[in-house]
Structure 1
Amino acid sequence: MQGTLFCLRFGHLLMCSISDSNTTDFINPSTFILLGIPGLEMAHVWISIPFCVMYTVALLGNFIILFIVKKEPSLHEPMYYFLCMLAITDLVLSTSILPKMLSIFWVNSRKIDFSACLTQMYFIHCFSAIESGIFMVMAYDRYVAICDPLRHSTILANHNVTKIGLAVLLRGIMLILPYPLLARRWPYSGTNIIPHSFCEHIAVVKLACADIRISSYYSLAVAFFVIGMDVFFIIMSYTQILRAIFSLPTKDARVKTFGTCVSHVCVILAFYIPTLFSSITHRFGHNVPLYFVILIANVYLLVPPMLNPIIYGVRTRQIRDRLLQIFTHKGT
């Protein structure tokens, strides 16, 4: 006779027992069920419209950035190399979640294979960490360009830019790799329903019938290490930048110099504010409605990839001029 599973959760510990002693093996589910945005199921189709628009703009905008930088020799500089890294990261990040999300919203296709779920989890968190690292090195690029301009071409020579890019990439890959490895080893003998629109790490491991404190504490440590370190170095860079700007003799010089940093400041705020808000509400906002937490999680993964190319396209004269040239030639 098949045993009955009883589960009680105490904090991060999910105590499970089976009434039949012959049924003691725990197995991982073959699939998970993503609910989308619980509480807003009737509005899924309407919610998908702005999400689809944001994804389309992100795809178009980031591909345009990559195309312009590739075709324009004057943009073959460290700042634009980092911008290309950011564009590729944004493309991967938004593509990791939206196609599956739209299948949930449009055709109610909620099943996702266990391995596919872990793969999605890895790509989301890995490229979020990479994006944060890119913002940090872009802040360093602005610091060197403003505070030590004579050595900028030496410090950020092409081979150094390559090394920095590889370091940021490897950091994201190695730090996030334990997420799916730990999640795979937990037993999932209870529900396989994920109350989320994508396979977010904590949302997945919370379903495990085991003590998941290792996963929880590790994810917190990674968040503090990655975001904490990156934000610290960004603040330090801009502190030195502001000192250099305020030491300039004229107001026009100060405004012009700070104008070169405005694009970067805007994309930093667009990334970190919803990221931090989502992380705080997901872990500590017990009184916040679940649908609101999930909407914010989607916003921080979809809005920055959409805004980054728009902000840089509008604020960066070289990109704006090159884009106008393309459309002017096509119109003549």
Structure 2
Amino acid sequence: MGGKVSFPRINLDRDKTVVVTGGNTGIGYETAKWIAFLGAKVVVACRSEERANEAINKIKAEYQAEKDRGTEGIIQDRDLNIECMQLDLSSLKSTKRFIDEYKSSGRKLHTLICNAGIAMHEQAYTEDENELMFQVNYLSHLLIALHLIPVMKESGSDDCRIVMVSSAAHLMASFDVTKIQGNHLSKDKFDRLKYYGNSKLYQIMQMYYMNRRLKDSNVSVLSLHPGIVETEINRSFQDLGRWKFFFRVTKLFGVTKKPIEGAESSINAAINPDLKGTRDVYFQNCKPSSTNSTARNMVNQETLLKFSLELLKDYITEDIAKDWMPEIQL
């Protein structure tokens, strides 16, 4: 693990608190692990507390091994400050319970890494009657951000960040607010790769509409594409002919990444001091890249925000809704 990395190996303030959704596996696991290795307090938020604790125990064992190996840049403490909280993004009720427990715990929050995501084998809907990828990948993360941004503003730090782990799949996405839920389609007509890309598009649109409102605050929002990483999300698409072909070709020619390589952009966006106050930037391989014109369209962004706030009306206060969109009537 002592090789070259694309993020700075700097010791982080021990008071810095970072939440990583889906931090128990894949890119999220490597993100949570390395940020903890560098000294921050890390909260792994995921659906299964059992799996989260297994991941934390593994991270702690790897930490001891890396210390024994003399790995450069990691802290030399007796143990890491890493814990888990239960969060099921497919349920707005569970997501709100996570929010309430986080706020009542008295924890600060300096960085929120919206990493958790899913890709479905077929059309599916949540108990809240939202298309599953739309809710897990975007809407529930938005609910967390709406409630925890005030916590970030009161953190005492002038550099708080929200990191949206999006995807280059957004480049093939389109926006039509009347078709977000996909319920106009039969199961055999539902294009899950397109709807996955759409959910990643919404994350980037969220970056833009949030930054417009946070520009005078200590909170900035960034987004990124981790690359074609060997994770469960990409494997879930391999029965699709076009994706299977693309994945095999990229793997053959060395373009696919291991989870640690995919996590580098997330870690860099979360901790690189040179990115303090950086807004509206989408990273690929730790370098700024271009988003599509649909994502950058302000009318689209505001339409998405209004639609999202209406869906979340039972889980946000009127004050929160008005803070983000004063003209809205819920």
TM category (shorter chain) comes to under 0.3
TM, length-normalised to structure 1: 0.27
More strand by share: 2
What TM-score results when the alignment is normalised by the length of structure 2?
Answer: 0.27
If each structure's helix is expressed as a fraction of its own residues, which one has the higher value? 1
Which is higher, the Rg of structure 1 or of structure 2?
1
